[in-house]
Amino acid sequence: MFVIAIVVSAIVLANNWRSNINFNKITITGNYTISREEILKSAHLKEDTIINIEELNIGIIQDRISEHPEIKRVFVSKEPPAELKIEILEKRPVAIINSGNELLLIDEELEIFSFKNYDKIYDLPIINGINIPNIQRPGLGASENDLRLALFIILESYKRGKYLYSYVSQINFSDSSKVKIHSNEKSIPFYLPKYPDKNITDINYQNEIKNKLVVLECFLEQIYAKNISQDLQYVDLRFSNQVVVKYK
């Protein structure tokens, strides 16, 4: 009986000790452009928040933070003895979509989202001429092919280096017969092929676009750089084995 009494007392004391543990340290990692204050606000927490372990619902905190438009994933955990740990994976935009009514961001996985941090839009290419009626839609419909093509061009330009990528200011799909890339410098349009019956998931189409980007980079480095004072009206890269250049 004495042993049982000791065990029971130990359990009661352990439960009382556990009930009296308060979380007084909040650690946030993975946030590079979203401030700590903004994440705490999304979680409905404050710097001086002290939460009893029995009252801490990490699921609710995780759900609250997940609603932030610029957060892709979040994991909240309890770290003994008194730490609440919040791990963030931010969405990484690669372009801006000008929907006509608002500016939206898009990442490599074709996820479209709004944003609060305006620093994120600096130096990102803009995609124009695509109708995005509702950010909450389940699918992109006919706009998906154009978006995939735009992202392919942007990401391939980035892979080839900063020189080519820096020229890609806008990608415009207002003309169904071609893709128009506008340069940062003088906003010169460069035309790439666009086919109504082809999808950028087609490896042959991918290779064609890659080859066109190689030609574009060569043109910029070898011809345009030496004649930068001349006013170009457009550069057409849609034809095989030739570049059509028109001056103003």
- pLDDT of 63 reads 95
**Do 58 and 143 belong to one domain?**
no
Query: Using 50, 70 and 90 to split pLDDT, how confident is the model at 178?
Result: very high
pLDDT tens-digit readout, 108-140:
888 888 877 666 667 899 999 887 655 444 455
| CATH number for the domain that contains residue 56 | 3.10.20.310
For the cut 50, the answer to whether the pLDDT of residue 8 exceeds it is: no
For the cut 90, the answer to whether the pLDDT of residue 224 exceeds it is: no
pLDDT tens-digit readout, 36-73:
999 999 999 888 877 776 677 889 999 999 999 889 99
- pLDDT of 139 reads 52
Report residue 27 as tokens.
């650690």
**Do 53 and 101 belong to one domain?**
no
With respect to residue 12, please indicate whether it lies within any of the assigned structural domains.
no
Give the residue with greater pLDDT, 183 vs 138: 183
**Mean pLDDT, residues 16-30:** 71
Number of domains forming the structure of the chain: 2
With respect to residue 10, please indicate whether it lies within any of the assigned structural domains.
no
- pLDDT of 20 reads 54
The average confidence (pLDDT) of the chain is: 83
**Mean pLDDT, residues 186-205:** 91
| CATH number for the domain that contains residue 185 | 3.40.50.11690
- pLDDT of 230 reads 79
* HEC string for the chain: CHHHHHHHHHHHHHHHHHHCCEECEEEEECCCCCCHHHHHHHHCCCCCCCEECCCCCHHHHHHHHHCCCCEEEEEEEEECCCEEEEEEEECCEEEEEECCCCEEEEECCCCEECCCCHHHHCCCCEEECCCCCCCCCCCCCCHHHHHHHHHHHHHHHHHHCHHHHHHEEEEECCCCCEEEEEECCCCCEEEEECCCCCCCCCHHHHHHHHHHHHHHHHHHHHCHHHCCCCCEEEEECCCCCCCEEEEC
pLDDT tens-digit readout, 88-105:
999 989 999 987 778 888
